[in-house]
């Protein structure tokens, strides 16, 4: 199983009469993009804008970020299984991508809410809206701040329910992403990387990547289309074992898509395959079970899968904070008990001046951990001149917003896979 990934970097982008890519310059036919969105009758409103790194621009009502990727050869369609796309297995042949670029899905829920409620203590209370992206300033901490973004602002008709709303808006941005990626489908990529993980070097250690992906099931039910999906499946289930190349074709997507298809751990492990390790597989653990028994069961299934695949080591991550950390601890423990050496990469909690511990569960099995920080944004989010993402923008969004404390509930940075260098240390 081999995947060629061809990258077409986007260094400049502008609206123009047609959609084409040449030498790093992407021209986008704005009217055509709008037309793709309203092709779904449930879409009541769409607008399309560009947001570039360094601008004093804030993107609000943020739901997801999609990188345009398209299959050129090889079966299946990228982002398989979601929004009615086929579940044909992916990860083979050739895929072309627009690098340094994303389509941003912004959906206005229709109920105007200010970004920070007036009676909240701005420096310590973090129960406030974090569904925004700052393109510059101290708050430009999300990975999307360094991408050239096509901001698609959407509203659905008022009678449309949550599931249909998702299918409408996410379907719209997928159509747009497919359309943009098709502009480079027939071109020769300036950069092409081949991922062939079939050869195993017996003198190198074999490792697996075990991301815990939270399921939306307890809010939307097992058949919900909303939330992080594996080939479109969102339910709490036994682990999904994927070839790393399937991840590169978007087999895990939604909530949020860009960091999953550009997963830095998948890329780092894949690039070091044959050099200092053998990258065997990605074992996706669905998380957010309701009882400890199920949590322990899910954990020992990961460990068993890792053993049967022949792994000696595992990197474990999670995409949700709070009590689900019990599942993370259980997974580390189960792997270590089977002799699989683990490294846990995770965000950590604010230690409240020594009153709390950085990890919710302090299991001695967690001997090797990499911290991606508490999620705090310690400086204010600068006031901006332009706000994109909706038809009616609350004036509060233009103002300076207070810093974010690094406690449970801080989900602005969400560096679940170690994209950045922010971390914590003991003093």
Partner 1 sequence: MSATVLHYLNQFFGGIGGEEVADLPIQVRDGPVGPGRLLQRKLGPPGEVVATIIGGDNYVAENRDRALEMVREALNHYQPDVVVAGPAFDAGRYGLACAEVCLLAQEQGISAVTAMYPENPGFTTNRRHLLCVPTGRSATDMAQIVDRLASLADKLVAHEELGSAEEEGYLPRGIRRSVVRAKPGAERAVDMLVARLSGQPFVSEIPVVAYDHVPPAHPVVNLASTRLAIVTSGGLVPRGNPDHLVSAFAQLFFRYSIADQSALVAGDWESIHGGYSTRAVNTKNPNFVVPLDVVREFETQDVFASLYPEYFVTVGNGTAVSDAKRMGATIATELLAAKVGAALFVAT
Partner 2 sequence: MAKELERRGLPVALISAIPMIPLGAGANRVVRGVRVEHVCGDPGLSTEADRALRRQIVGTALKALQTPVEGPTLFDPANGSVS
Which residues of the shown chain bind partner 1 in the complex (CB under 8 A)? 125-127, 205, 207, 218-219, 264-265, 267-269, 272, 276-277, 290, 312-315, 322-323, 341-346, 348, 351-359, 362-364, 366-374, 376, 378, 406-409, 415, 417-427
Q: Yes or no: say if 206 and 280 are a contact pair by the CB < 8 Å rule.
A: yes
Nearer to partner 1, 22 or 368 (CB): 368
Contacted entry of partner 2, partner 1, none for residue 406, CB cut-off 5 to 8 Å set by kind: partner 1
Tell the smallest beta-carbon distance from residue 129 to partner 1 (Å).
14
The SS3 assignment for 153 reads strand
Looking only at the bridges linking them, the beta strands covering 313-318 and 206-214 are parallel
Tell the smallest beta-carbon distance from residue 332 to partner 2 (Å).
12
86's CB contacts (< 8 A; 6+ apart) are 76, 77, 80
Nearer to partner 1, 42 or 278 (CB): 278
> In whole angstroms, what is the distance from residue 74 CA to residue 96 CA?
12
Phi and psi at residue 202, in whole multiples of 5°?
-65, -15
Tell the smallest beta-carbon distance from residue 237 to partner 1 (Å).
18
> In whole angstroms, what is the distance from residue 151 CA to residue 274 CA?
39
- Count the alpha carbons within 13 Å of 255 in the hemisphere toward its beta carbon: 17
Nearer to partner 2, 5 or 359 (CB): 359
Residues numbered 352 to 371 that lie near partner 2 (CB under 8 A) are 360-363
Tell the smallest beta-carbon distance from residue 345 to partner 2 (Å).
21
Contacted entry of partner 2, partner 1, none for residue 423, CB cut-off 5 to 8 Å set by kind: partner 1
Cα-based torsion angle of the residue sequence 139, 141, 147, 151 in order, rounded to the nearest 10 degrees: -50
Check binding of 340 to partner 2 (CB under 8 A): no
Q: Yes or no: say if 103 and 177 are a contact pair by the CB < 8 Å rule.
A: yes
Sole residue written with tokens 């209370």:
125
Contacted entry of partner 2, partner 1, none for residue 187, CB cut-off 5 to 8 Å set by kind: none
Contacted entry of partner 1, partner 2, none for residue 113, CB cut-off 5 to 8 Å set by kind: none
Nearer to partner 1, 79 or 417 (CB): 417
Contact with partner 2 (CB under 8 A) among 11, 113, 271, 323: 323
> What track of x and - describes contact with partner 2 for positions 291 through 310 (by CB under 8 A)?
xx--x---------------
Tell the smallest beta-carbon distance from residue 376 to partner 1 (Å).
6
Nearer to partner 1, 159 or 353 (CB): 353
> In whole angstroms, what is the distance from residue 123 CA to residue 150 CA?
32
From residue 118, alpha-carbon distances to 7, 34, 115, 127 in Å are 45, 36, 9, 12
Looking only at the bridges linking them, the beta strands covering 57-59 and 133-134 are antiparallel
Sole residue written with tokens 């890519």:
21
Nearer to partner 1, 389 or 406 (CB): 406
Contacted entry of partner 2, partner 1, none for residue 295, CB cut-off 5 to 8 Å set by kind: partner 2
Q: Is 23 left (phi over 0), alpha (psi -120 to 50) or beta?
A: left
Nearer to partner 2, 17 or 290 (CB): 290
34, with CB counted inside 10 A (0-12, 13-18, 19+), is middle
Contact with partner 2 (CB under 8 A) among 290, 337, 352, 370: 290
Q: Tell me the chain's radius of gyration from C-alpha atoms.
A: 21
The token pair that represents 372 in the structure block: 């991606």
Contacted entry of partner 1, partner 2, none for residue 318, CB cut-off 5 to 8 Å set by kind: none
Nearer to partner 1, 19 or 312 (CB): 312
> In whole angstroms, what is the distance from residue 34 CA to residue 327 CA?
42
> What track of x and - describes contact with partner 2 for positions 218 through 257 (by CB under 8 A)?
x---------------------------------------
Name the residue among 325, 367, 376, 331 with its Cα closest to residue 346.
325
Nearer to partner 2, 78 or 215 (CB): 215
Tell the smallest beta-carbon distance from residue 298 to partner 2 (Å).
13
Q: Which residues are near partner 2 by CB under 8 A?
A: 218, 290-292, 295, 323, 326, 329-330, 360-363
């Amino acid at each position: 199983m081999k995947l060629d990934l061809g990258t077409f970097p986007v260094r400049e982008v502008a609206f123009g009469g047609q959609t084409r890519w040449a030498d790093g310059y992407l021209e986008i036919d704005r009217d055509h993009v709008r037309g793709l969105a309203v092709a779904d009758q449930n879409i009541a409103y769409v607008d399309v804008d560009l947001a570039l790194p360094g601008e004093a621009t804030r993107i609000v009502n943020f739901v997801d970020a999609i990188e345009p990727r398209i299959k050129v050869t090889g079966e299946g369609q990228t982002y398989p299984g979601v929004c009615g796309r086929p579940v044909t297995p992916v990860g083979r042949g050739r895929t072309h991508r627009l690098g340094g670029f994303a389509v941003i899905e912004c959906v206005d829920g229709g109920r105007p809410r200010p970004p920070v409620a007036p009676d909240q203590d701005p420096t310590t209370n973090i129960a406030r809206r974090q569904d925004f992206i700052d393109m510059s300033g101290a708050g430009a901490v999300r990975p999307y701040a360094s991408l050239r973004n096509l901001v698609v602002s959407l509203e659905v008709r008022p009678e449309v329910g949550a599931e249909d709303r998702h299918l409408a808006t996410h379907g719209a941005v997928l159509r747009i992403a497919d359309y943009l990626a098709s502009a480079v489908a027939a071109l020769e990529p300036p950069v092409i990387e081949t991922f062939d993980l079939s050869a195993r070097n017996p003198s190198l250690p074999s490792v697996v990547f075990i991301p815990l992906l939270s399921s939306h099931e307890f809010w939307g039910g097992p058949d919900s289309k909303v939330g992080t999906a594996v080939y479109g499946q969102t339910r709490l289930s036994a682990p999904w074992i994927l070839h790393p190349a399937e991840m590169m074709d978007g087999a895990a997507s939604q909530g949020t898509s860009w960091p999953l298809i550009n997963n830095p751990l998948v890329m780092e492990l894949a690039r070091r395959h044959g050099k200092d390790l053998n990258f065997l597989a990605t074992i996706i653990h669905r998380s957010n079970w309701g009882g400890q028994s199920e949590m322990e069961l899910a954990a020992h299934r990961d460990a068993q899968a890792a053993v049967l695949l022949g792994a000696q080591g595992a990197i474990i991550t999670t995409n949700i904070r709070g009590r689900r950390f019990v599942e993370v601890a259980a997974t580390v423990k189960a792997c270590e008990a089977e002799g699989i050496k683990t490294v846990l990469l995770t965000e950590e909690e604010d230690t409240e001046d020594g009153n709390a511990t950085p990890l919710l569960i302090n299991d001695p099995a967690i001997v090797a951990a990499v911290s991606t920080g508490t999620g705090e944004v310690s400086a204010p989010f600068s006031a901006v001149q332009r706000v994109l993402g909706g038809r009616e923008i609350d004036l509060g969004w233009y103002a300076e917003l207070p810093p974010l404390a690094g406690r449970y509930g801080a989900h602005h940075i969400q560096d679940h896979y170690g994209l950045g260098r922010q971390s914590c240390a003991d003093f």
